[in-house]
C-alpha cells in the first residue's frame, strides 16, 4: 500500500522547520521526515532543546538537527538529511533512493519532504508522480510556506528600496538565478499556501499579500498563521495534488493560456528539441483563509494581469536597457522572447521583484531541420505559423500593481526591430547581445528603478 507524501517548500526563513516541528509535536500518526540542508545555508542560531531536554538553549543547528531534536529520535534513523546539494537537482537520484529505502526499512503513515529554501518544487513532485518513488508513495500535497513580512516587502511594497537581490548560483559559471524568482516558483507550483509570520504585518498588509498570492497562484488553498501553528490535518492527507493541474495553475500560465486560446500556440517549451507542452484549462480550487474570512479581490488593490504578444523580435540592446529600467509596479513577468541574433534559442524571460532572468529553455520549431519541423507542425495543427519566421514570437504574461500597462506596452514596442532593421538580418549578430545561447544557460539583469 502506498504511503501519502507531502512536499514542504518555502524560502529561507519562511518558517518551514518551525511549522514542521509543531506539526510533529501534535500529529496523531507516525510521520517520517526527509530534510534537505543546502550546504550551510540553513544553519543558524535556532532556539531548540538540548540533548538533555533543557529548553531555551541556543546553539548552531541545522534544520535537520532541529527536526531530529523535536521528534526525540535518538539515532536519527527516521530523518534522512541530504547535505551539500539540492534534492531536486544534483541530489535528485539520492532523493528517490532515500525515500524508497525509508519505505522498505520502516513502517509509517505519512512522509514529509522538507525541501531546501532554494529548492524548486516541480522536479521534486515529478519524482513522486512519475519517478521511482511513485511505486512507494502517493503525492498528497505540495505546501509552500510564505513569510508574510518578507513577501510584502519584496513584492507588494513596490516603492521600497530592497537593495541588492540575493541570488542562487546557476547551472554553470555563466550567471546566477535570483532567489526571488525561485520563491515565486514555489508559490506558483503548490496546492496549499501557508502565509506565516502574520504577526509581523498589519491587517491591510496581510490582505495585500493575500491578494497578490491569489493572482500569482489562483488555484491554491490559502491559510494564514503565526509561528507555524496549524492543525496537522490542514497539511496532511488532503489528497489535493494533481501534477497536470499544478503545472498549469500559475497565474502567468493561465494568462498565456487564455491568450493562446485567442491566437493559438502554446507558451511553454520545456524540451531542447522544440516540443511544446500543452496545458488545458482546469477549474480553480477554493481559496480559504484559515483564520480570517476575507475576500482578497486583487482588483481592489490595483493588481491586474495582461498579456503582450508580438510576432517580431526585440533588439537585444534596447531590450536590455528596458530590463534595467522596468517600472516598480511590475511584480511578475514571464514568457517567451524572440531576441534578434538568437534565432535558434527560445528564451524564457522571468521577472521577480527587481531581477529579470533570461534562460534558454528550448528551440523554436522553425529552427529545426525541415523533416523534424514538419513532424511537429503536423502534431500541432493549430500552431500559428509565419511563412518566413515560423513560430518565433514574443509572448509575455505581465502582473502589475497600479501599473500603466499602455506605457509599458509602448516601451516594449519600442524594443521591437524596425522595418529597416528587419531587412538587415546580416547585422543582427553584430549587435551587443546579453542573451544566453546554450540550453539551460541564464543571464540576470537588475532593474535600478
Per-residue pLDDT at 70: 52
**What does DSSP assign to residue 160?**
S
Interval 237-244 mean pLDDT: 85
The neighbour count for residue 173, using CB atoms within 10 Å, is 7
Per-residue pLDDT at 393: 96
Per-residue pLDDT at 62: 59
Model confidence, pTM: 0.78
Interval 268-280 mean pLDDT: 36
Choose among 368, 425, 414: nearest CA to 391: 368
Q: Which band of pLDDT confidence, cut at 50, 70 and 90, is reported for residue 177?
A: low
Per-residue pLDDT at 37: 66
Q: Which band of pLDDT confidence, cut at 50, 70 and 90, is reported for residue 427?
A: very high
Element (H, E) at 358: strand 355-363
Q: Between these two residues, 41 and 122, which has the higher pLDDT value? A: 122
pLDDT tens column, 137-153: 999 999 999 999 999 99
Give CA–CA dist 343/358, Å, rounded: 15
Give CA–CA dist 241/144, Å, rounded: 13
- Which residues, other chains included, contact 84 with Cβ-Cβ below 8 Å and sequence gap of 6+? 37, 38, 39
Interval 172-197 mean pLDDT: 81
Per-residue pLDDT at 68: 57
Q: Which band of pLDDT confidence, cut at 50, 70 and 90, is reported for residue 98?
A: confident
**What does DSSP assign to residue 418?**
P
- Which residues, other chains included, contact 124 with Cβ-Cβ below 8 Å and sequence gap of 6+? 7, 87, 88, 95, 113, 115
99 pLDDT above the threshold of 70: yes
Give CA–CA dist 296/206, Å, rounded: 10
Given a contact cutoff of 8 angstroms between Cβ atoms, the answer to whether 337 and 417 are in contact is: no
Assign domain 3-247 to a CATH class.
Answer: alpha beta
Q: Which of 154-163, 239-248, 383-392, 414-423 is predicted with the least confidence, judged by mean pLDDT?
A: 154-163
Per-residue pLDDT at 259: 77
C-alpha distances out from residue 183 to 81, 117, 209, 328, 439, Å: 22, 8, 14, 18, 22
Give CA–CA dist 236/6, Å, rounded: 7
The neighbour count for residue 102, using CB atoms within 10 Å, is 22
Is the backbone of residue 211 left (phi > 0), alpha (psi -120 to 50) or beta? alpha
* 252-446: CATH topology: Hypothetical Protein Yjia; Chain: A;domain 2 (3.30.1220)
284 pLDDT above the threshold of 80: no
End-to-end Cα distance, the chain: 55
Residue-wise burial string across 259-282, b where 16 or more C-beta atoms lie within 10 A, e elsewhere: bbeeeebbbbbeeeebbbeebeeb
Interval 19-36 mean pLDDT: 89
Q: Between these two residues, 1 and 405, which has the higher pLDDT value? A: 405
Pairing of strands 137-147, 3-10: parallel
The percent of residues in the chain predicted with pLDDT above 90, rounded, is 55
**What does DSSP assign to residue 153?**
I
Give CA–CA dist 319/432, Å, rounded: 11
pLDDT tens column, 356-371: 999 999 999 999 999 9
pLDDT tens column, 39-88: 443 322 223 333 333 333 333 445 666 665 555 444 455 576 675 566 66
Given a contact cutoff of 8 angstroms between Cβ atoms, the answer to whether 437 and 342 are in contact is: yes
C-alpha distances out from residue 428 to 183, 309, 314, 348, Å: 35, 21, 11, 20
Choose among 30, 228, 8: nearest CA to 128: 8
Interval 327-331 mean pLDDT: 92
**Average pLDDT of the chain to the nearest whole number:** 80
Decide: helix, strand or coil at residue 403.
Answer: coil
398 pLDDT above the threshold of 60: yes
**What does DSSP assign to residue 152?**
I
pLDDT tens column, 127-138: 999 988 999 999
- From the number of C-beta atoms within 10 Å of its C-beta (0-12, 13-18, 19+), residue 327 rates as middle
- Domain ranges for the chain, please list them: 3-247, 252-446
Measured at the CA of 57, the angle between CA 54 and CA 58, to 5 degrees, comes to 155
Give CA–CA dist 124/98, Å, rounded: 13
Q: Between these two residues, 47 and 118, which has the higher pLDDT value? A: 118
Q: C-alpha 304: how far from its chain's center?
A: 20
Give CA–CA dist 293/210, Å, rounded: 11
289 pLDDT above the threshold of 60: no
The percent of residues in the chain predicted with pLDDT above 70, rounded, is 74
389 pLDDT above the threshold of 80: yes
Q: Which of 17-21, 73-77, 231-235 is predicted with the least confidence, judged by mean pLDDT?
A: 73-77
**Alpha-carbon dihedral 413, 182, 440, 409, rounded to 10 degrees:** 0
Measured at the CA of 231, the angle between CA 227 and CA 233, to 5 degrees, comes to 140
- From the number of C-beta atoms within 10 Å of its C-beta (0-12, 13-18, 19+), residue 85 rates as middle
Amino acid at each position: 500500500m502506498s504511503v501519502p507524501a507531502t512536499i514542504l517548500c518555502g524560502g529561507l526563513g519562511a518558517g518551514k522547520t518551525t511549522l514542521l516541528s509543531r506539526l510533529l509535536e501534535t500529529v496523531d500518526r507516525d510521520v517520517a521526515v526527509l530534510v534537505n540542508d543546502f550546504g550551510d545555508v540553513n544553519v543558524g542560531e535556532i532556539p531548540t532543546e538540548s540533548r538533555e531536554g533543557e529548553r531555551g538553549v541556543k546553539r548552531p543547528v541545522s534544520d535537520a538537527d532541529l527536526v531530529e531534536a523535536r521528534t526525540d529520535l535518538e539515532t536519527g534513523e527516521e530523518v534522512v538529511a541530504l547535505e551539500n546539494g539540492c534534492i531536486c537537482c544534483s541530489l535528485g537520484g539520492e532523493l528517490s533512493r532515500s525515500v524508497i529505502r525509508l519505505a522498505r526499512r520502516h513502517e509509517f503513515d505519512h512522509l514529509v519532504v522538507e525541501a531546501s529554501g532554494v529548492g524548486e518544487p516541480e522536479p521534486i513532485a515529478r519524482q513522486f508522480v512519475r519517478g521511482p518513488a511513485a511505486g512507494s508513495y502517493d503525492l498528497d500535497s505540495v505546501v509552500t510556506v510564505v513569510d508574510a513580512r518578507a513577501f510584502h516587502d519584496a513584492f507588494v511594497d513596490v516603492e521600497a528600496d530592497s537593495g541588492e537581490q540575493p541570488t542562487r548560483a546557476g547551472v554553470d559559471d555563466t550567471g546566477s538565478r535570483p532567489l526571488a524568482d525561485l520563491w515565486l516558483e514555489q508559490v506558483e507550483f503548490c496546492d496549499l499556501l501557508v502565509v506565516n509570520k502574520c504577526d509581523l504585518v498589519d491587517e491591510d498588509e496581510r490582505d495585500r499579500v493575500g491578494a497578490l498570492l491569489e493572482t500569482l497562484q489562483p488555484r491554491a488553498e490559502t491559510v494564514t498563521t503565526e509561528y507555524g501553528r496549524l492543525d496537522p490535518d490542514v497539511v496532511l492527507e488532503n489528497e489535493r495534488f494533481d501534477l497536470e493541474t499544478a503545472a498549469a495553475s500559475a497565474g502567468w500560465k493561465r494568462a498565456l493560456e487564455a491568450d493562446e486560446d485567442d491566437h493559438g500556440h502554446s507558451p511553454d517549451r520545456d524540451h531542447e528539441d522544440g516540443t511544446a507542452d500543452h496545458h488545458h484549462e482546469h477549474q480553480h480550487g477554493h481559496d480559504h483563509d484559515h483564520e480570517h474570512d476575507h475576500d482578497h479581490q486583487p482588483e481592489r488593490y490595483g493588481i491586474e494581469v495582461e498579456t503582450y504578444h508580438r510576432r517580431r523580435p526585440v533588439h537585444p540592446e534596447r531590450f536590455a536597457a528596458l530590463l534595467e529600467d522596468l517600472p516598480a509596479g511590475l511584480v511578475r513577468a514571464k514568457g517567451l522572447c524572440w531576441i534578434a541574433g538568437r534565432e535558434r534559442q527560445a528564451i524564457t524571460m522571468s521577472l521577480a521583484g527587481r531581477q529579470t532572468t533570461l534562460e534558454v529553455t528550448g528551440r523554436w520549431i522553425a529552427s529545426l531541420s525541415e523533416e523534424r519541423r514538419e513532424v511537429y507542425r503536423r502534431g500541432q495543427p493549430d500552431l500559428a505559423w509565419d511563412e518566413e519566421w515560423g513560430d518565433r514570437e514574443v509572448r509575455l504574461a505581465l502582473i502589475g500593481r497600479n501599473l500603466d500597462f499602455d506605457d509599458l506596452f509602448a516601451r516594449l514596442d519600442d524594443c521591437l526591430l524596425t522595418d529597416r532593421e528587419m531587412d538587415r538580418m546580416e547585422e543582427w549578430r553584430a549587435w551587443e547581445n546579453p542573451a544566453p545561447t546554450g540550453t539551460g544557460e541564464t543571464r540576470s539583469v537588475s532593474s535600478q528603478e
